[in-house]
Structure 1
């Protein structure tokens, strides 16, 4: 008698009407407002960085799948395109071409394909690439071109992000009140007239993407709301305790990579929890770690590190926070 074995694919094992390809390209569409705004602010360099990152990710995924993993490549399912766009969103528009290519190789080769490809990677590939570049090329990764207007040329104009300026100022003994005088207004932070990575500067453009993905049911509200609200609460507590050393909570929410991370990176299907309760725990954990790094760490920003740290806890979250099994006691309660 022959024995037949079932091959079980990696989790998640959730089915819906939309295919993987439709979901991926839905995310790409949701990123278009932020991409357009980055082009408006940084000009042709934004197009160059994004195009190079996407093309590099596609080439590396095709090559690794075909010649190293010995399987038919599926580079047009949208996942490599998302990785390329997100990697571009997390770097300065002035980044040299070879660093972008290295980041793409690390994101796809180490962050994704080394674990078996789509559906197997425990960490967000774009963030793996971004953190690698930040550690390997700290000067280039922290040289932020000053945003212009449309395709204005700003040769040699660069400066620190507002979070970097606050961290440096506080380290030099200046008070938060003094430093906030020269900080952008909340309106400027919301619309995106500030320095930073390509895709993180406009909260408005990112929120448009969030609304689209919620409308299309590509993601749920749990992770973005849990992450943003926890950052607001934890930074607000520090601000109430000592406003001379800590910025107010709204400032923390509108600066750095909070919106980009909460909407597009923490919500990655493969590297986030399965259950709604797990998503809430995941989002709160990211928020807490982000605030701790910003307030007490050496880096002015903590979103990337926080998401990667919580990615590592996803298996535990899925193990201990799960719905009742069908037919188990309390299933209908």
Structure 2
């Protein structure tokens, strides 16, 4: 009598990829609303362009590889990749920037490796780094946070006009640097932290607007932890090492090294710690390995921000640690059940 055989896993969480991706989208909504509040509607245009490009590119690559479209298009991974990349782009970047970055991410960082589950590098970060290196001017031209009572952000029509025609409306102080970029530039010019923070770009915690956006990313990350979409290991290690290093150097030379609070509330810190570094495909597999992986991202981020050529460093740190994942997994793999680990 033949007996049926079933492949592992025999016990699973009860959720599928599309449900997990939907939880990630839910967790991003508060930060999206804050982003719109401080920078206008450009983020919605970016998300629309990146998501449409991601889905179309995914469909074309699946067709070229002879894979079923309905199964893989419905998993939501392309939508999440496009959304995460959009959050990394300046609010009013030209339309072709998100299109090129997303298409490159989907083709070269995902499907050429075999699709979801086989890519060694985070696709959104691959697309972002390509854009940052290839188009530095467009990728560093940010709309400054506006005083909503005096000079509100551009409305949707003005934003669309600028993104697709490059014709700027009549506004004061149209473009500017991020708090991280401005701080790095001014420190190299010999100015002290106290002088730098007197600039209108900064508020009580850090950069105006950026602290609130990072705060909402943090709350979204807490939601993912509560729903068990991610584990605590990677975010804790990323933020813990970044906190420790920035506190130590700020304590030693407070007028040259920014405080830990500034690092935690600036740039892509919380987005990277909770939404990008925790990608289950490209991150370390074991709990102990995730701690090493996250610690590497946190340390590299601080090194790049402080002594490197780029103001943030999250994307480069994630990709560098993606390279180290096979080694981390090899040395941190748990022993097989029933076997004693070699000493």
TM-score by length of 2: 0.86
- In 2, are the aligned partners of 1:186 and 1:251 still within 8 Å (CA)? no
Alignment of 1:1-333 (within 5 A): 15-66=12-63, 68-73=64-69, 74-148=72-146, 149=148, 152-153=153-154, 155=171, 157-182=174-199, 184-187=202-205, 189=207, 193-194=209-210, 202-329=213-340
Mapped to 2, the partners of 1:119 and 1:260 lie a distance apart of 21
State the distance in 1 between where 2:11 and 2:191 align.
Answer: 52
Provide Cα deviations, 1:95-131, integer angstroms capped at 9, x if missing partner: 1111111011111011111111100111110000000
Deviations 1:113-157 (A, max 9, x none): 111110011111000000000001000000000133497328461
Structure 2 CA distance for aligned equivalents of residues 81 and 243 of structure 1? 42
How many angstroms does 1:201 deviate by? Answer: 6.2
User: Given the superposition, is the C-alpha separation of residues 250 and 187 from structure 1 closer, same or farther in structure 2, using an over 3 Å criterion?
Assistant: closer
Deviation of 1:40 (Å): 2.1
Flag the 1:236–1:14 CA change in 2: closer, same or farther, 3 A. Answer: farther
Q: Which runs of 5+ in 1 are unaligned?
A: 1-5, 195-199
Indicate the SS of the match to 1:219. coil
**Following the alignment from structure 2 to structure 1, what is the Cα–Cα distance between the partners of residues 91 and 24?**
22
Displacement of 1:13: 10
CA 1:134–1:210 in structure 2 vs 1: closer, same or farther (change >3 Å)? same
Q: CA RMSD in A?
A: 2.4
Contact 2:43 2:87 in 1 (8 A): no
Superposed displacement of residue 330, structure 1: 6.3
* SS across alignment from 1:263: helix
CA distance in 1, matches of 2:219, 2:338: 41
* SS of corresponding position for 2:43: helix
Task: Work out whether residues 206 and 266 of structure 2, in 8 Å CA contact, stay in contact via their aligned partners in 1.
Answer: no
Q: Does structure 2 conserve the Cα–Cα contact (< 8 Å) formed by 1:193 and 1:201?
A: yes
TM-score scaled to structure 1, two decimals?
0.89
**1:318 offset after TM fit, Å?**
0.8
**Which deviations, in whole Å up to 9, do the C-alpha atoms of 1:216-251 show, x marking residues without a partner?**
110111111110111010111222222222111111
Give yes or no for contact 1:56–1:105 (8 Å, CA) kept in 2. yes
